[in-house]
Copies of this chain bind each other. A is one copy, B any other.
Amino acid sequence: MFSVTVRDHIMIAHSFTGAVFGPAQRLHGATFVVDATFRRPELDDDNIVVDIGLASEQLKTICSSLSYRNLDDDPEFSGVNTSTEFLAKLIADRLAVRIAAGELGPGAAGLTGVEVTLHESHIAWASYERTLR
């Protein structure tokens, strides 16, 4: 199995609901360093997993749509704990939609899985891994 990973980041504000979150129930923020991994069992005719330029661009577009915002103000996340885990899945799912739409190029049709890891600090990170197709 082959994979390629590209890294970007977002900087957001949010708060959490639930005693389990302790002080993070207050409005605070985070830098999430975002690693997006693309997987496939065989390389394409160019000997690559995915067009890394397009993959980086699409990840940047998704990150830009989330970054420099207070996620609490986004109606899409109303009543949702925008945890690191949740955001990893959100970005992975948005990548899957763009892959299906051909925005990572025709070669990306051969991708079979995607994983997104969000690093919230030097001592904590979360991932979500899913299949494609």
Which chain A residues have a beta carbon within 8 Å of chain B's beta carbons? 1-9, 11-14, 16, 18, 20-24, 26-33, 43, 46-49, 51-53, 56, 67-70, 73, 80-86, 88-89, 105, 107, 120-130
Contact = CB atoms under 8 A, between A and B. Distances in A.
Tell me if A's interface is mostly helix, strand, loop or mixed: mixed
A47 B126 CA distance: 12
B128 A2 contact: yes
A106 B127 CA distance: 21
Copies in the complex: 6
Nearest to A37: B127
Contacts of A86: 43, 47
A27 B18 CA distance: 23
A46 B33 contact: no
Nearest to A86: B47
Contact of A31 (B1, B31, B43): B31
